[in-house]
Amino acid sequence: MVSVDDLRALLARVYVHDDDYLSRQCERYAEAARHFVGLYGEEPTHFYRAPGRVNLIGEHTDYNLGYVMPTAIDRDVVIAARPREDDLIRGANVEGRRFEPFEFRISQSVPSGPVGHWGNYPRGAAQRLARAAKRPLLGMDAVFTGTQPYGTPMGVGLSSSTSLTVVSTLAIAHLNEVAAADQHLAELASQAEWYVGTRGGVMDHFASVLGRGGHALFLDCLPEGPGRYRMDLIPLPPGYRLVVCSTNVRHENTRSEFNTRVFECRVAAYMIREHLTQVRHLRDVSEEHLGLSRSEVDALIAELLPESILGADLIESGIAAEVAADMPASFEVDSGRPYRVRQRCRHVVTENRRVRDSADALRKGDVEAFGRLMDEAHSSVRDDYEVSILPVEAMVAAASEAPGSVGARLTGAGWGGCVVSMVAEAKVEEFSRSVSERYLRDTGIESEIIVCNSATGAQAIVPA
Ligand code: NG1
């Protein structure tokens, strides 16, 4: 077993806050290792970790190949692992009662576990890597830990599923010596997550792999051509903290509504392309790409896109078939539903501008300007993208008006989840108290307030 001192020395490079925090992290890794020995009768040889993320601005832009600005946070999923000589992957969780163990063989076509089983994320990772590697891969025994308060909180929009997918992708790739540079690893992990039936973008995975402590990650999600995945690490303003306020509400139909938004954006891009062939994705509806002014771009959207278009009309015109080809199999166009293409497009186009304006504001240290952009971004996801719900509105109201707040917005996909605020460090306690009291009073729901530190992206931690 790796000695406590060795483990501490390794982890000191990862968890940099203070000694007490480091000791608690060491205990967490040691617990995973003990669990490993109890289960598999041998010691783990490697540890891997991948953090969650909070998105500062740039919502629903990534799958339109636009801009995002998340940061990795100091909550992660950790694996203790040992390579195997065959193709079996066995996984267990330190919270064995909550998360049942799984096992499967790595191949280019890994059968899915039961719907909603956490093991489907490692399955997706293994399948994606097997397809990428084009050679047989070896398996591993693994113990996962995402236990609170250090694990990525689940179901609140901080990307616990991405932490799990990224850490699995990293572990399998590393143990098999599949050379994957960070950027490629992030891309593979994002495709691995499609295995569970969403068509999400790359933001969460890039943040989880490439995030750096003290920085926001500005990312251009364009996957091809010169400047692909252009990134810039932008220092977060000193004297402020990111505070994540969980509504403790998550709608069940999130996945199908999410896919509907993806579909609406693709329809919008298709309809604009019929007039302007240089528009392939909604990211291309921009001043630079079209050589127009902001107001000309806005006018163009209003002119070329109907407010809504009925599913039946999309089916009849053949647009649905063209656009839905790349959607998950579970997605169906509803003939009776009006698809709101104009306002979806307007959100994406204005949000892309806001991300770039935010990057400029943070580079200049203009926190107030950034706060205003956060507020505007929230109005846009609420009114144009329609992914907010009443508890989120209650939380945004509470967070915007609480002491120390410079801005507040829904973060993540929506339909519940979390609100992120930038808060003056000296006021964080007052802010947290005010938000939780007011949210409880207005909604009758308890909230969870998470004061985040930004953190470093996914890592292999290999004892000598
Ligand atoms: P969350 O909040 O983790 O469900 C989803 C997508 C992101 C992005 C955001 C909206 C996945 C894995 N994540 O995030 O890529 O599109 O919604 O900005 O699909």
Rg (CA), the chain: 22
Over residues 287-331, the pLDDT tens digits come to: 999 999 999 999 999 999 999 999 999 999 999 999 988 888 889
As a whole number, mean pLDDT of residues 272-299 equals 97
Give the pair of three-digit tokens for residue 427.
């006021």
Cβ atoms 349, 304 nearer than 8 A = no
Over residues 228-271, the pLDDT tens digits come to: 999 999 999 999 999 999 999 987 767 889 999 999 999 999 99
Only one residue has tokens 């007490």, namely: 20
As a whole number, mean pLDDT of residues 362-391 equals 98
The helix/strand/coil state of 274 is coil
pLDDT > 70 fraction of the chain, expressed in percent and rounded: 99
Least confident of 29-33, 70-74, 95-99: 95-99
Of 282 and 159, more confident:
282
**Side-chain-facing half-sphere of 220: CA atoms under 13 Å:** 15
Q: Please give the pLDDT value at position 439.
A: 98
Question: Residue 67 and residue 70: Cα distance in Å, rounded?
Answer: 10
Distance 51 CA to ligand 1 centre (A): 15
Which CATH architecture fits 48-236+454-461?
2-Layer Sandwich (3.30)
Question: Residue 375 and residue 405: Cα distance in Å, rounded?
Answer: 11
Ligand 1 atom 2, closest CA? 412
Distance 19 CA to ligand 1 centre (A): 34
pLDDT of 144 over the 90 cut = yes
Give the pair of three-digit tokens for residue 438.
């007011």
The helix/strand/coil state of 206 is helix
Q: Please give the pLDDT value at position 364.
A: 97
Average pLDDT, the chain: 95
> What band does 1 get if pLDDT is binned at 50, 70 and 90?
low
Ligand 1 neighbourhood includes 351 CB (under 6 angstroms): no
Least confident of 71-80, 224-233, 350-359: 224-233
Ligand 1 atom 11, closest CA? 200
As a whole number, mean pLDDT of residues 366-373 equals 98
Distance 378 CA to ligand 1 centre (A): 16
Out of 204, 220, 284, 384, the active site residue is 204
pLDDT of 447 over the 70 cut = yes
> What band does 108 get if pLDDT is binned at 50, 70 and 90?
very high
Residue 62 is a catalytic residue: no
Cβ atoms 53, 71 nearer than 8 A = yes
DSSP codes of every residue in 319-346:
HHHHHHTTS-TT----TTPEE-HHHHHH
Cβ atoms 232, 218 nearer than 8 A = yes
Ligand 1 neighbourhood includes 63 CB (under 6 angstroms): yes
On the question of a cis peptide bond just before residue 149, with omega within 30 degrees of 0, the verdict is yes
Q: What are phi and psi of 100, to 5 degrees?
A: -70, 145
pLDDT of 360 over the 70 cut = yes
- DSSP lists the bridge partners of residue 70 as 55
Over residues 338-350, the pLDDT tens digits come to: 999 999 999 999 9
Q: What angle do CA 283, 289, 290 make, to 5 degrees?
A: 115
Q: Please give the pLDDT value at position 7.
A: 87
Beta strand spans in 203-356 (E): 215-220, 231-235, 240-250, 309-310, 338-339
The residues near 310 (Cβ < 8 Å, ≥ 6 apart) are: 335, 336, 337, 338, 339
Ligand 1 neighbourhood includes 413 CB (under 6 angstroms): yes
> What band does 77 get if pLDDT is binned at 50, 70 and 90?
very high
pLDDT > 90 fraction of the chain, expressed in percent and rounded: 88
Over residues 406-438, the pLDDT tens digits come to: 999 999 999 999 999 999 999 999 999 999 999
As a whole number, mean pLDDT of residues 385-410 equals 98
Atom of ligand 1 nearest to the CA of 162: 12
Indicate the Cα dihedral angle 321, 327, 330, 335, nearest 10°: -40
Over residues 164-216, the pLDDT tens digits come to: 999 999 999 999 999 788 999 999 999 999 998 877 789 999 999 999 999 99
Query: Which of 64, 204, 221, 254 has most ligand 1 atoms within 8 Å of CB, for mutation?
Result: 204
Cβ atoms 156, 250 nearer than 8 A = yes
Q: Please give the pLDDT value at position 6.
A: 85
As a whole number, mean pLDDT of residues 94-120 equals 95
69, 102, 194, 331 from 121: Cα distances, Å: 24, 11, 9, 20
Task: Tell me the pairing of strands 240-250 and 459-461.
Answer: unpaired
